Amino acid sequence: MIPKNNRMSLSLHTLKPSPHSKKDRKYIGRGLGSKGTYSGRGVKGQGARSGVSGLKLKGMRKIILSTPKLRGFKAKNPKAQVLNIGDLAKMFVDGGKVTPKQLLAKKLITDATATIKVLGKGTIASKIILQGCLVSASAKEKIEQAGGSVV
């Protein structure tokens, strides 16, 4: 007798698809034992011949060829917009708060929602409070030396 608490546990080797959820693909024209004499291709005509794509049969080929395609590669995570300390020193006064919205307003960046990184090229003397941006180690050091902070 099997105890009640000895059920099959859910783990990778016990997983199975639910019944009838997986459908076998139509296996057309692969020798004598396939599905009947015409193998699902009908009688004569273009579709019965070998080498005819399904798109050609449905009249889709011209549509697909005529649609413009996006060329090249577009990354899922685009690169961060880069700013330097020198740029911030020119545009912001002492004690100012620097946020992505303000950077966009001063046209230092193109998109306030994208990632922004501040790098340490240049010098800064004004105390600024930097919010909502990634900051390199050298930039953080320079901002803190000038009396500012990175939040």
How far apart CA 80 and CA 140 sit, in angstroms, is: 17
Q: Which residue has the higher pLDDT, 37 or 122?
A: 122
Q: What is the DSSP string of 36-72?
A: SSSTTS-SSSGGGSTT--HHHHTT-HHHHHHS----S
Q: Which residue has the higher pLDDT, 36 or 114?
A: 114
Beta-strand pair 81-84/128-130? unpaired
Which tens digit of pLDDT belongs to each residue from 58-91? 677 788 888 898 888 888 888 889 999 988 888 8
pTM for this one? 0.51
Class of residue 134 by CB neighbours under 10 A (exposed 0-12, middle 13-18, buried 19+): middle
- The listed CATH number (3.100.10.10, 3.30.420.10, 3.40.50.800, 3.40.190.10) that belongs to domain 81-150: 3.100.10.10
- 41 pLDDT tier (thresholds 50, 70, 90): confident
